[in-house]
């Protein structure tokens, strides 16, 4: 018998089918959920390349991929790359809440507090119930007050106005579950609550006009009429902090401290470190003879703005 030789397998190996960008994105999401942030970054990068090569490029899809990769960079502590990816994401998908929050967190870590403040405040225009944006705004307010003093707001970059159509669309997107859940534990958790529809651009302009009419009446000393204007303004735009603090001032002037406290409470729900709200609520508590609460508000104010002359003076008067 002739010797037997092993038979070689001459079949051509099958070429593995390349993964689509959606499959790569899904794999990145899975890696992210299990804490494998380096691998998640790699898969998101592949997904970005595949989507850019395809003829079905959708700016929003690409923006989300950059935002997801930014989340991985943020988790790995690579804040500079996170900011770059968020910049790209926001160019492709303007006012994306997740990108704003991720960039704000990275900017905060890089101690670029003014830009972080702007991003947190922009996110609040889209959804005023984002707990992380409120917390971030409060931290930035304190940091900027310590760094720049009482005039810190004058040094801020302009805060962009989010159009109504964008606010409505993005607030709906924010309410839907998204992958990955890439918020840093301290910074980017989004708390959703049932809320009224955002005011229209027309209502916001009318509310601003009414507020300015109220301001003009205050200058004339016509506080009761100013209260009416501010009340009309708040019906149209109930999320404007300064309208509450302005109306609180009027209530103090017409000897209605309980109403002033209510307005300051609402202002502080929107901006927990608002200096005017804390000071005017302290004045109202003084008028109500609730001196302990008055002192608590003044101490809270002085943590944010330690050299606030009016607060120091009122604290001295109350302690006597």
d(C-alpha 63, C-alpha 285), whole Å: 49
User: Is residue 136 domain-resident?
Assistant: yes
- Answer yes or no: do 171 and 249 share one domain: no
User: Is residue 307 domain-resident?
Assistant: yes
Could you give the percent of the chain with pLDDT greater than 90?
A: 47
- Answer yes or no: do 161 and 206 share one domain: no
The pLDDT value recorded for residue 196 is 47
DSSP-derived 3-state class of residue 286:
helix
pTM, to two decimals: 0.54
User: Is residue 113 domain-resident?
Assistant: yes
In this model, does residue 181 exceed pLDDT 80?
no
**Are 294 and 318 contacting, i.e. CB atoms less than 8 angstroms apart?**
yes
User: Is residue 54 domain-resident?
Assistant: yes
- Answer yes or no: do 106 and 238 share one domain: no
d(C-alpha 238, C-alpha 232), whole Å: 10
- Answer yes or no: do 55 and 149 share one domain: yes
Of 277, 279, 273, 304, which Cα lies nearest the Cα of 147? 304
- Answer yes or no: do 205 and 158 share one domain: no
Q: What is the mean pLDDT of residues 196-216?
A: 83
- Answer yes or no: do 75 and 221 share one domain: no
Phi-psi category of 95—alpha, beta or left, where left has phi over 0 and alpha has psi -120 to 50? left
User: Is residue 107 domain-resident?
Assistant: yes
The pLDDT value recorded for residue 317 is 92
- Answer yes or no: do 29 and 164 share one domain: yes
The residues, ordered by sequence, that sit 6+ positions from 54 with a Cβ below 8 Å of its Cβ are 21
The pLDDT value recorded for residue 77 is 86
Higher pLDDT, 19 or 219: 219
Query: Domain range for residue 307?
Result: 201-319
- Answer yes or no: do 40 and 161 share one domain: yes
Continuous H helices in the chain: 21-33, 37-53, 59-75, 79-92, 97-109, 113-126, 131-148, 164-175, 201-219, 223-236, 241-253, 257-270, 275-287, 291-304, 309-319
User: Is residue 244 domain-resident?
Assistant: yes
In this model, does residue 310 exceed pLDDT 50?
yes
- Answer yes or no: do 163 and 29 share one domain: yes
- Answer yes or no: do 121 and 168 share one domain: yes
In this model, does residue 297 exceed pLDDT 80?
yes
Least confident of 60-74, 165-179, 264-278, 282-296: 165-179
In this model, does residue 217 exceed pLDDT 70?
yes
User: Is residue 190 domain-resident?
Assistant: no
- Answer yes or no: do 145 and 236 share one domain: no
Count of domains observed in the chain: 2
- Answer yes or no: do 239 and 301 share one domain: yes
Which CATH number is 164's domain given?
1.25.40.10
């Amino acid at each position: 018998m002739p010797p037997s030789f092993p038979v070689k397998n001459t079949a051509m190996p099958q070429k593995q089918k390349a993964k689509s960008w959606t499959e790569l994105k899904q794999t990145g999401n899975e890696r992210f959920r299990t804490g494998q942030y380096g691998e998640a970054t790699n898969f998101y990068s592949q997904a970005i390349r595949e989507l850019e090569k395809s003829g079905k490029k959708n700016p929003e899809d690409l923006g989300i991929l950059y935002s997801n990769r930014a989340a991985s960079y943020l988790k790995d502590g690579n804040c500079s790359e996170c900011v770059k990816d968020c910049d790209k994401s926001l160019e492709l998908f303007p006012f994306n809440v997740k990108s704003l929050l991720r960039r704000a967190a990275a900017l905060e870590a890089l101690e670029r507090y003014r830009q972080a403040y702007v991003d947190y405040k922009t996110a609040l225009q889209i959804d005023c119930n984002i707990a992380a944006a409120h917390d971030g705004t409060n931290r930035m307010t304190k940091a900027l007050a310590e760094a720049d003093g009482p005039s810190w707001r004058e040094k801020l970059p302009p805060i962009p106005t989010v159009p109504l159509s964008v606010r409505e669309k993005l607030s709906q997107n924010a309410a839907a579950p998204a992958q990955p859940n890439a918020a840093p534990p301290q910074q980017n958790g989004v708390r959703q609550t049932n809320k009224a529809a955002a005011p229209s651009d027309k209502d916001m302009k009318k509310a601003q006009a009414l507020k300015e009419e109220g301001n003009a009446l205050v200058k004339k000393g016509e506080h009761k009429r100013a209260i009416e204007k501010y009340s009309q303004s708040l019906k149209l735009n109930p999320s404007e902090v300064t309208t509450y603090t302005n109306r609180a001032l009027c209530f103090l002037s017409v000897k209605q401290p309980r109403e002033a406290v209510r307005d300051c409470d609402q202002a502080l729900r929107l901006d927990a470190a608002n200096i005017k709200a804390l000071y005017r609520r302290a004045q109202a508590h003084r008028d109500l003879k609730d001196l302990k609460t008055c002192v608590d508000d003044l101490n809270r104010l002085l943590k944010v703005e330690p050299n606030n002359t009016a607060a120091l003076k009122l604290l001295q008067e109350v302690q006597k």
